[in-house]
Each structure stands twice: as structure tokens, then as C-alpha cells.
Amino acid sequence: MPTNRTTIYRGIPASFGKFYGKALKIISSNHIILQTFIKEADIKVEVTKFLKALGRTKKELEAIISKKSMNQDIKDILVSQICMLDDPLLLDGVIKKIQENHENAALALFNTIDQISNKFTSLNDDYFSERAVDIRDIGRRIEDNLLGRKSDYNILSAIKEEVIIVAHELTPSQMIHIDKKMVKGIATEMGGKTGHMAILAKNYSIPTVVGLNKITSEIVDNEFILIDADEGVVIRNPVINQIKYYGSSSPIKAIQEEEVSSFTRDGHHISIKVNLDSENDCELILKANADGVGLYRSETILIEEADKIHDEEAQFHIYKKIAADMKGLPVTIRTFDLGGDKFDTRHKEDNPFLGNRGIRYSLKNPTWFKKQLRAILRASVFGNISIMIPMVSTVSEVIKTKKLIEECKSDLRKKRIQYADVNIGIMVETPACALALDQFAKECDFFSIGTNDLLQYTMAVDRNNHYISDLYNPYNLSFLRILSMIIETSQKYKIPLGICGELASDTNFTILLIGLGLKELSVSLPLVKKIRKIISRMDILQAEVLAKKIMKLSEEEKYVEIDSFLFNKHIN
């Protein structure tokens, strides 16, 4: 409800910056639903849309039931779903909300399904709890037919004015399609500072705060709010003193000054590479004078069109463009990292973060995995490409992948298609991998630390769970020790090591990471200049002394002191 009282919602800062502007409230169920209310003249159109979607859903179910091979138990379930389509609770409930509340068809359907399923769930009866699941399922079917699979992309890419998105959560696939010029802030109830939505927000330089309790139930569509992602707050009805200094504020101001080098004051070179999400951003990387691409998240090409997973030619052209556009600079392509919160593998898992994801999923699907590997090998002659394997737990996964790569090379030789020799490395992001890194050194050309997953698996904490976000703590001694161990092992076996997780882009960590022994950072593009500036003002000895001090404070669990100490050391 609208209010004139100033309210401060506190959350977790995920991508820095400030903006004062209009809220665009969206509901995300099976699709994104704008909280829009319609005019009297549009009521008939919205009712018709709903009834047509209902009709299409009924035809779909009837077509499935008519298959001779259909199991009788499944037929019974689908017949019961068809009966639900004619239930007055659903039919009349949606139409009433359209006619009386002036809700659009999608919003009316969402609210009606929510209302009915909650009513069933509240009865605390197993039978009715199962019916609640059924009603939500039929709701998703109707919604698919009402909105269509590509509706999310159209909504997010066609925003007409500058807004702050307010939502329960946003998925990475939705983030890829947002209009980066019009979305000036993101405020969500769910998510963590290193979830993939937050990573993309940082790459797009969109101020973002996550873990904001009850914000979607209280913020009203189109009201003006202030997002301060530096402090991790969203302010409703801010006072004039709060907004007059903010207005429209970019998260990172353009620095008009002479270019600084990536050398420390005592002459040590630190390689600064970039994490890449789109093949169209290579020119920006070259302009930033970065040392290459430390991580190309290849799974982002599946966001637009999942079928590209089967299209070797389409993948080849994307990898070729990146390799050529980077003009000989190194490009590390991570093979598809599917599962977790990044890409739906369409297999229901109770805990997808500990499930069939990353290289596990790829090795179980060798036919399309080899298409990706062949596409990368074909593109390798156009630049300086390396292949990186994600979510590795066992040495056998590396060996199996290398065997598939050799099979792909053989396929290409038979067709007389050229390829170059490529380095093969791994993401070190599981404790199983980190603790046996000496064994992986026998099979790998390079390592790259994925701090996001490594931290969550070390601490046994879901990084997107804001209820226990205090446990997702990179200052924890166990995590710092495992980082040190990875660095020491890579140095002992002379395996090149980089870091491409979110800590690499956290400017409060720059000196600490270098003090621990890292010499290559792969960061978000907007932070290249800022991190290079920090490097140019430090020396290695200073960084090593700082790292020892942080270790000592971590032993005593003095995390606030660590935060304050690191912040003050990194002030420009």
C-alpha cells in the first residue's frame, strides 16, 4: 500500500552504485509478469486471451491423453487436470480479477492460482497438499500458453523508461535480456552477492541489492524509490537530503586520466584479464587494455536459444568471432557449465548445486559435448584459445574430457579441417579438487580458481540463501587456507594459476590475493581500471605482510576488523 513514511529495506550489496527512480515491479513465476493494471476498454481483450490460453491447454492435454502408449495412472492425472480447467474456482476467479480488479490476464491467473493453492496447503492435509501441487502445475501450463516462451525476453528488452526492477528473484537467463540502458537498478528478495544474477549485474554495472525482505509485497509499481547498492539498502519515500546528492548515479564513473600499468611499484607484473559473457564485448576489452579473456562463460550462448547446444556450426562462429576479435590475446573458453542456478537441465534435482552440473552433465551427454569441443578446436586457428573444464571433482573427469578432445581432433583430421593445439585446464572450485591438486597437475596445463563455488562448498552454505549469508564468508580461516594451499601447489608444480571468481573483482581483496601469491586476476570489465590502479600503488612485500595479518585476524574470527582493515588499505 502507498505510504508517505520513509522505510529502509536492508539487504546485501551485490553490484555497487546508486539511483533514484521509478520502480518496475515484476512477478516471476513460470514467466515474468508485469504488475500491470488495465483500462476498462481492455477487459474484454484480456478475458479473451485467458479463455484462448485455457482452450490451448485443454487441447494439449487431450492430445497427450490420446497417445496409445500412455500409462493409465498418468492419463488419470491429466484427466483430473482437464477437469480443473472447468472448475469455477479457477475460471470465475481469473475472470473476476480481470473484470473487478482490472488485473491483466497473466496477473489475474497468477493471483488466482496462488490463492487456490494456498487455500489447499493451509488445510494441513496430505490429499489437499497434493491438489495444491496439481493446481500450480496446471497454472504453469496455462501461463505457458498465455505468455509464450519468449515473453520474458520481449518484456525485459522493451522497457521504455529508466526503472529500478523490484522482484522476488531474477534468473540469469532473464538478466541476459534486460535493456541495460533502461534498467538502472535491481532490488530482489532472493539471491546472494555471488549468485549468477549478481555476477551479471556487476558485469552490466547495474546497482543491485539482494536479500531484501518483503520488498515486493510493500513497494508499489511506479512509485519512486532510492537504491543505494553501496550501503545495501533500498529507501522508500527518501527525504530530500538523501536524494539530492544521488539522482542518477553510475556505479563506476569514467576515469579521465592517463593509463596506468599492471605493474606493482616494485616492478612485478600482475595480469588483468576479463570475464566475458557476450561475444560482442571484445572491443571493450581491448579498449580497457586488458590482457585477454580469463573466462568466457560459454553457456550464455544457450540463453537465447537452447538448441544451440546441438548446433556445432553456430557455436563455431561465436568462438571464432571471439578469438579473432581478441587479436591474438589469450581467450579461455569454459565448457558449458549447466545446472545449479545458471541453466535448467530439465532434470528435477533436490539439490542442483550438488547434482548433475558442469563437467558431470557434459560427460553424461558426450554427443553434444563433442560438438562444443569440435567447435572450439575449429575456432582455435583464429586466435589463442584454451579450454577450461568446470566443476571438476576427480582426475578421471579430466582424463575423460581429454580423451573426447582427442576423438574430436581425429574427426577433424578425417575431414581435413584445421585446428591448433590448445591448453587444457580446470576450474578449481570444489574442495575435492583443491585437496588433490597435485594429482590434477599431472593432467592440466593451467588452473583457475572459481571462488564462488569453492567458498560455498568449503563452508557448506548455499551462497544464494540470504538467511545464512553471514556464513558465506571469504575471510573464514578454512577458506583462506584452502586458497593458500592451491597457490602453493600450483607454484610447486609450475602450473599457471589465475582466479576468475567474484573475489577477483572485489577491490577490497586485490592486495590480499596478490599477497597470497596470485599473479593473474580475471575480473568484471568495469573494474579493470580500478584494480590496475590499486596494483600500481602497491608493492609485493606490502601485500605479503597484509596477507599474514589477515590470516592472524581470521584465526581470531575478527571479521569486522578484517573488513575495515582491507577497506582502508584500498582507499584510493
- Closest C-alpha among 182, 196, 254 to residue 526: 254
Phi, psi angles (nearest 5°) of residue 339 = 95, -175
Tell me the average pLDDT across 13-22. Answer: 88
Superfamily of structural domain 429-572: Phosphoenolpyruvate-binding domains (3.20.20.60)
pTM of the model: 0.65
Is 411 within 8 Å of 369 (Cβ atoms)?
no
Phi, psi angles (nearest 5°) of residue 297 = -80, 90
What CATH number does the domain located at 7-31+152-249 have?
Answer: 3.50.30.10
What's the pLDDT tens digit per position in 526-547? Answer: 889 989 999 999 999 999 999 9
The Cα–Cα gap between 324 and 301 comes to 18
Residues designated catalytic: 196, 500
Cell 528488452, located at residue: 157
- Sorted by sequence, the CB contacts under 8 Å of residue 128 that are 6+ apart come out as 120, 121
- Of 31-40, 381-390, 449-458, 466-475, the range with the lowest mean pLDDT is 31-40
Residue ranges covered by each domain of the chain:
7-31+152-249, 35-147, 271-425, 429-572
Class of the CATH domain delimited by 271-425: alpha beta
What CATH number does the domain located at 35-147 have?
Answer: 1.10.274.10
Coil, helix or strand at residue 458: helix
What's the pLDDT tens digit per position in 141-153? Answer: 888 888 865 556 5
pLDDT band at 305 (very low <50, low <70, confident <90, very high): low
- Closest C-alpha among 146, 169, 150 to residue 158: 150
460 torsion bin: left (phi>0), alpha (psi -120 to 50), beta (else) = left
Q: Cβ–Cβ contacts within 10 Å for residue 13, how many?
A: 19
- Of 56-60, 120-124, 152-156, 179-183, the range with the lowest mean pLDDT is 152-156
The Cα–Cα gap between 530 and 256 comes to 12
The Cα–Cα gap between 86 and 55 comes to 10
Q: Which pLDDT value is given to residue 375?
A: 97
- Closest C-alpha among 279, 396, 286 to residue 333: 279
Task: Decide whether 271-425 matches 429-572 in CATH topology.
Answer: yes
What's the pLDDT tens digit per position in 496-513? Answer: 999 998 899 988 899 999
SS3 content of the chain, % helix, strand, coil (to 5): 50, 15, 35
